[in-house]
């Protein structure tokens, strides 16, 4: 961890002196050689003391019992030259205002580099600037920040970006960046959007992710055991001395904290991961057609599992039908009986008896002719 407290910078005089050292390269006593993907490299003269103050990793690397401490040359192949140049510029001045000028991609890579080499002040500054801009990010940028938050294991950042993903989720077409997730991040993403996507679409997304990562079907337990036995027989055993020699030659590997991520190369882990993903799908909520078009034709479910899910779907359909019929029956029983279409009217003063409609809204002007004749006769008989 840096000796500078987070968000606390050296005084202006010291900072200006440090920035001057970075610009002029005076009194440099070490060199960082950054190797890029094309095979080229770029050298950066630096000062051991400043880098050791910024990072515990660089402190052990430059002042520990390693080759770098005596040769003064540090080779890194896990960062691009332009990112290291911006990191070096930050170490020589701690000017967090400069981060506001960097684009999203640069900020993410700087943040990941700072996290890997334990430069906490730079990591905090990058996270703060990313959160300020989060409302301007599109779905792809939010997904990348979601993965970055998992790599850094920052729970507060994970929760904030998970909420943003849930609020901005629109359709399954926005999932192009998800296929690059490692298995644990993808599993969490499926849980985040659980209420935003149907079971059928969730299974389709899950299947596409597995195929994108080279998993075409779920291997049986017997296949996994036999493959493990074969690999165990063919794997060469490295001696203890060789391991110690390799560790002494690679100080950066021993200094940088290891990130534990699931690997698709290990059969047991692969089978366990696929099972965990399938457990997130409630197959009983699928319609018969959705199950037939999706899981029914998938290689990630065994025949026995398909029969079990089909039985559950059929059972749910029968239950839903019975509940609907019961509801309709209760509605019919509770409905009040309709009044009779006519009523018997007996006039005490006459000898005529007739049926008269009971609709109160019908006026005498629209009554049928026989009824009007009856009323006329009744009035005459009263006289």
Q: What is the pLDDT of residues 126-165, one digit of tens each?
A: 999 999 999 999 988 999 999 999 999 999 999 999 999 9
- Secondary structure, 3-state, 145-212: HHHHHHHHCCHHHHHHHHHHHHHHCCCHHHCHHHHHCCHHHHHHHHHHCHHHCCHHHHHHHHHHHHHH
Cα(261)–Cα(185) distance, integer angstroms? 9
Cα(355)–Cα(313) distance, integer angstroms? 57
More confident position, 185 or 367: 185
Tens of pLDDT along 92-102? Answer: 999 889 999 99
The answer on pLDDT for 235 being more than 80 is no
Average pLDDT, the chain: 79
Poorest-confidence range of 167-176, 179-188, 235-244?
235-244
* Residues 305 and 220: beta-carbon distance below 8 Å: no
Classify burial at 190, counting beta carbons within 10 Å of its beta carbon; exposed 0-12, middle 13-18, buried 19 or more. Answer: buried
More confident position, 161 or 169: 161
- Model confidence at 369, pLDDT cuts 50, 70, 90, reads low
pLDDT of residue 110: 97
More confident position, 215 or 358: 215
Classify burial at 132, counting beta carbons within 10 Å of its beta carbon; exposed 0-12, middle 13-18, buried 19 or more. Answer: exposed
How do the domains of the chain map onto residue ranges? 1-131, 137-197, 199-220+263-327
The answer on pLDDT for 232 being more than 70 is no
Cα(306)–Cα(283) distance, integer angstroms? 10
More confident position, 66 or 366: 66
β-bridge mates for residue 345, sequence order: 354
How large is the C-alpha radius of gyration of the chain?
38
- Model confidence at 168, pLDDT cuts 50, 70, 90, reads confident
DSSP line for 304-359: HHHHHHHHHHHHHHHHHHHHHHHHHHHHHHHSPPPPPSEEEEE-TTSS-EEEEE--
The answer on pLDDT for 327 being more than 80 is yes
pLDDT of residue 99: 94
Q: Is 141 helix (H, G, I), strand (E, B) or coil?
A: helix
Lookup: tokens for 303: 């025949």
**Element of type H or E holding 30:** strand 30-35
| Sequence-separated (6 or more) residues with CB below 8 Å from residue 198 | none
Q: Which CATH architecture has domain 1-131?
A: 2-Layer Sandwich (3.30)
> Max Cα separation, the chain?
136
pLDDT of residue 54: 93
* Residues 18 and 68: beta-carbon distance below 8 Å: no
* pTM of the complete model beyond 0.85: no
The answer on pLDDT for 185 being more than 70 is yes
- Model confidence at 67, pLDDT cuts 50, 70, 90, reads very high
pLDDT of residue 163: 94
Lookup: tokens for 283: 């197959």
- Model confidence at 258, pLDDT cuts 50, 70, 90, reads very low
| Sequence-separated (6 or more) residues with CB below 8 Å from residue 20 | 26
């Amino acid at each position: 961890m840096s000796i500078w407290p987070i968000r606390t910078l050296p005084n202006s005089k010291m900072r200006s002196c440090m920035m001057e050292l970075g610009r002029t390269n005076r009194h440099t006593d070490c060199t960082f050689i950054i190797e890029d993907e094309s095979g080229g490299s770029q050298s950066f003269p630096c000062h051991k003391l400043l880098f050791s103050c910024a990072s515990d990793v660089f402190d052990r690397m430059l002042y520990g019992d390693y080759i770098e401490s005596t040769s003064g040359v540090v080779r890194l192949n896990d960062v691009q030259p332009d990112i290291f140049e911006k990191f070096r510029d930050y170490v020589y001045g701690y000017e967090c205002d400069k981060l506001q000028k960097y684009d999203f991609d640069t900020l993410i890579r700087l943040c990941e580099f700072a996290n890997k080499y334990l430069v906490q002040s730079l990591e905090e500054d990058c996270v703060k600037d990313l959160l300020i801009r989060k409302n301007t990010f599109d779905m792809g940028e939010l997904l990348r920040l979601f993965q970055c938050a998992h790599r850094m294991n920052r729970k507060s950042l994970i929760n904030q970006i998970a909420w943003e993903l849930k609020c901005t989720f629109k359709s399954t077409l926005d999932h192009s960046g998800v296929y690059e997730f490692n298995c644990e991040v993808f599993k969490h993403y499926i849980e985040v959007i659980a209420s935003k996507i149907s079971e059928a679409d969730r299974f389709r997304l899950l299947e596409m992710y597995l195929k994108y990562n080279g998993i075409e079907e779920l291997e049986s337990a017997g296949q996994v055991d036999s493959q493990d036995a074969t690999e165990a027989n063919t794997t060469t055993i490295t001696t203890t001395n060789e391991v110690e020699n390799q560790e002494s030659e690679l100080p950066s590997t021993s200094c940088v904290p290891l990130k534990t991520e699931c690997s698709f190369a290990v059969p047991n882990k692969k089978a366990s991961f696929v099972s965990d993903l399938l457990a997130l799908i409630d197959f009983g909520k699928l319609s018969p057609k959705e199950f037939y078009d999706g899981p029914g034709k998938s290689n990630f479910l065994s025949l026995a599992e398909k029969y079990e899910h089909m039985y559950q779907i059929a059972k749910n359909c029968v239950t839903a039908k019975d509940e609907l019929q019961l509801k309709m029956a209760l509605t019919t029983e509770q409905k009040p009986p309709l009044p009779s279409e006519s009523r018997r009217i007996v006039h005490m003063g006459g000898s005529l008896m007739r049926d008269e409609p009971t609709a109160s809204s019908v006026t005498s002007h629209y009554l049928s002719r026989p009824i009007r004749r009856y009323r006329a006769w009744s009035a005459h008989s009263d006289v």
